[in-house]
Amino acid sequence: MTSLVERMQAELPGMLAELETLVTCESPSSDLAAVARSAEVVARVGSGLLGSAPEYVVVDGRTHLRWRLGAGPSRVLVLGHHDTVWPVGSLATHPFAIEDGVLRGPGSFDMKTGLVMAFHALAALPSPDGVTLLVTGDEELGSPSSRALIEDEAAGCVAALVLEASADGALKLERKGVSNYEVRIAGRASHAGLEPELGVNASIEAAHQILAISRLGDASRGTTVTPTNLSSGTTRNTVPAAASFSVDARARDVAEQQRVDAALHALTPVLDGASLEILGGPNRPPLERKMSADLFDRASRLAGELGLEPLQEISVGGGSDGNFTAGVGTPTLDGLGAVGGGAHADDEHVLVAEIAPRTALLTALIADLLDSP
């Protein structure tokens, strides 16, 4: 099987050229036109390697691409996204470049390298019959328009393989579930100097609620509940009549996610005359280790057969579309994409030497899954 690594090494110059094509087509999630342009580029690169054009799936103006390969039912879902967090114009300050074995550029690590890897892995299969490749365009926003598409494609598959970048080379066996909330507080305005006692201070009510919410976390179970952005009041000399703040909650298991959700929706005002409105809830279910362990063991065996270094595993707090595939009961392995670092940061980068070996591993893993009864 070492010949597979050698094949991908031979294909590396082409992979780097294709990666430059993808990275230099900027695709911030919030810019629908940019995402549509990126989808055209991704479709062109992918079609050239796979020999077939994707289906364009446009939901709420966001462009997703789906390749259903072969005539049989889908057994393996390969999942990625082509949107990034980088605004148009970022190439001026973060140009695509390769120097000393390190590739840089906006979205290169998260996760356009993973897309190129997926195309080459699928093109190298004896037959891709039974594979669906889904490339979404809104993952960085929480996948609001693609969630149902992802869940539908994953349902009934024997595995979902997520081409998100690795964590320092480690595959991601656990991802916390993510819940998002907005807490809105209504008070009553009054003059802060003349009649403060006639008001109901929404800022003070917000302070009470923030302290109560911050106590909902449980470090022993890996549960974090974090109040984030806060807005309150109108002028310096007016008792605030309204306030609002956001809450980011993350949990390793469904029971904890549900506990926090129930507690947040059960909050009551502390100040007489104040009222609360709690909006939001779970956005992504947890990706629990039990959904990944068998696939990791399979990938580890294949890595050994390919002569690669032993695979490492990690649990992370960030969510991905792998949370959705696991949430519908499909075994899921995440972090199969680029090795590097700096996602969403100025030092975003990919280690070029790892691209070919990891693509060979992906190829072997897909083939092994397709060959399984």
What pLDDT score was predicted for residue 373?
A: 76
Nearest by Cα to 65 from 49, 51, 75, 79: 79
Let me know whether 141 and 58 are in one domain: yes
Share of the chain above pLDDT 70, in %: 99
Q: Report yes or no: 336 and 298 within 8 Å, Cβ to Cβ.
A: no
CA angle at 334 for the pair 344 and 259, rounded to the nearest 5°: 85
Average pLDDT of the segment spanning 199-208: 98
What pLDDT score was predicted for residue 71?
A: 85
**DSSP state for residue 247 in the 8-state scheme:** E
Q: How far apart are CA 222 and CA 252, in angstroms?
A: 6
Range of the domain at 234: 177-284
**DSSP state for residue 327 in the 8-state scheme:** H
Let me know whether 30 and 172 are in one domain: yes
Average pLDDT of the segment spanning 163-181: 95
Q: Which residues contact 371 (CB under 8 A, 6 or more apart)?
A: none
Q: How far apart are CA 361 and CA 300, in angstroms?
A: 9
To the nearest whole number, what is the mean pLDDT of the chain?
A: 96
Let me know whether 164 and 217 are in one domain: no
Q: pLDDT for 49-90, tens place per residue?
A: 999 999 999 999 999 999 999 987 899 999 999 999 999 999
Q: Report yes or no: 137 and 63 within 8 Å, Cβ to Cβ.
A: yes
Banded pLDDT at 243 (limits 50, 70, 90) = very high
**Helices 32-50 and 2-23, packing angle to 10 deg:** 150
* Percent of the chain that is helix, strand, coil (3-state, to 5): 40, 25, 35
The domain boundary residue, chosen from 263, 284, 305: 284
Q: Is the dihedral of CA 235, 236, 240, 246 positive or negative?
A: positive
Q: How far apart are CA 180 and CA 121, in angstroms?
A: 35
What pLDDT score was predicted for residue 293?
A: 97
**Helices 355-371 and 2-23, packing angle to 10 deg:** 110
Let me know whether 200 and 239 are in one domain: yes
Let me know whether 171 and 305 are in one domain: yes
Q: How far apart are CA 169 and CA 315, in angstroms?
A: 13
With tokens 């939901």, the residue in question is 59
The enclosing domain of 64 has a CATH number of 3.40.630.10
**Terminal CA-to-CA distance of the chain, rounded, Å?**
21
Query: 211 forms bridges with which residues in the sheet?
Result: none
Average pLDDT of the segment spanning 233-262: 97
Q: Report yes or no: 86 and 107 within 8 Å, Cβ to Cβ.
A: yes
Q: Which residues are catalytic?
A: 83, 139
Average pLDDT of the segment spanning 116-141: 97
Q: Report yes or no: 117 and 359 within 8 Å, Cβ to Cβ.
A: yes
Share of the chain above pLDDT 90, in %: 96
Rounded alpha-carbon distances, angstroms, from residue 369 to 159, 202, 362:
8, 56, 11
Let me know whether 10 and 157 are in one domain: yes
Average pLDDT of the segment spanning 279-306: 96
Average pLDDT of the segment spanning 197-208: 98
Q: How far apart are CA 7 and CA 14, in angstroms?
A: 12
The domain boundary residue, chosen from 237, 257, 284: 284
Helix (H, G, I), strand (E, B) or coil at 63: strand
How many structural domains comprise the chain? Answer: 2
Let me know whether 171 and 221 are in one domain: no
Q: Report yes or no: 110 and 97 within 8 Å, Cβ to Cβ.
A: no
Cα atoms in the 13 Å half-sphere on the side-chain side of 327: 24
Per-residue pLDDT at 2 exceeds 70? no
Let me know whether 207 and 309 are in one domain: no
Distance of CA 120 to the CA centre of its chain: 22
Q: How far apart are CA 4 and CA 361, in angstroms?
A: 9
Let me know whether 250 and 112 are in one domain: no
Let me know whether 123 and 271 are in one domain: no
Q: pTM (2 decimals)?
A: 0.89
The enclosing domain of 201 has a CATH number of 3.30.70.360
Banded pLDDT at 1 (limits 50, 70, 90) = low
Average pLDDT of the segment spanning 230-235: 97
Give the tokens for residue 273: 């005359």
Q: Burial letters for 267-306: b for 16+ Cβ neighbours within 10 Å, e otherwise?
A: eebeeeebebebebebbbbbbbeebbeebbebbbebbeeb
The domain boundary residue, chosen from 269, 284, 299: 284
What pLDDT score was predicted for residue 73?
A: 87
Let me know whether 116 and 242 are in one domain: no
Query: 179 forms bridges with which residues in the sheet?
Result: 249, 282
Q: pLDDT for 329-364, tens place per residue?
A: 999 999 999 999 999 999 999 999 999 999 999 999
Let me know whether 170 and 184 are in one domain: no
